[in-house]
Amino acid sequence: MGVGSNMGSQKFNILQRRNRRQQKKLADIEVRTMPSGYEEFEDHTNMKGHEFADFQKRLYAENTRERRRFRRIFWSVMALVLVVIVYFLFFYEVGPIKSFKWP
């Protein structure tokens, strides 16, 4: 290895150190460019203990409501599919096939 390759690595290390100083953390609100979810970003790190407990309860209730809604829709669709299958199996009368000819 020559002296030139060593100089390149030193410059690279200097640039890395300089970039590390200029990096911004993702937690900085100024860095965020996209909204998080449907609502504006709320910083929950400044919450007190009882506020965070209320937040968790509200979040749990919302998730429970969404799960119940999903289950209700899922089982409604399954029941509808079952009714359609039963109808076609037992109650739908198919006439003779006109294109079929007995030998």
Mean pLDDT computed over 54-77: 95
* Residue 68: pLDDT over 80: yes
Give how far Cα 25 sits from Cα of 7, 30, 54, Å: 30, 10, 28
Mean pLDDT computed over 65-74: 97
The reply to whether the predicted model has a pTM over 0.75 is: no
Q: Quote the mean pLDDT of the chain.
A: 76
Give how far Cα 75 sits from Cα of 66, 68, 86, Å: 14, 11, 16
Mean pLDDT computed over 58-87: 96
Is 24:38 a contact under the CB 8 Å cutoff? no
pLDDT at 32: 57
Q: Which residues contact 55 (CB under 8 A, 6 or more apart)?
A: 44, 47
Mean pLDDT computed over 4-16: 69
